[in-house]
Amino acid sequence: MYTISVTPRFGDADGLRHINNIVLAEWFELARNKIYRLFTPDLDLSYEKWKLIMVKTDFEFLGQMYYNGDVDIKTSIIRIGNSSYTTYHEAWQSGHLKARGTAVLVNYDFIQQKSRPIPEDVREQLEEFLEDDPR
Q: What are the domain boundaries of the chain?
A: 2-127
Question: What is the pTM assigned to this prediction?
Answer: 0.93
For 70-124, what is each residue's pLDDT tens digit? Answer: 999 999 999 999 999 999 999 999 999 999 999 999 999 999 999 999 999 999 9
Using H for helix, E for strand and C for coil, what is the string for the chain?
Answer: CEEEEECCCHHHECCCCCECCCHHHHHHHHHCHHHHHHHCCCCCCCCCCCCEEEEEEEEEECCCCCCCCCEEEEEEEEEECCCEEEEEEEEEECCEEEEEEEEEEEEEECCCCEECCCCHHHHHHHHCCECCCCC
Which CATH homologous superfamily contains domain 2-127? Answer: Hotdog Thioesterase (3.10.129.10)
For 58-81, what is each residue's pLDDT tens digit? Answer: 999 999 999 989 999 999 999 999
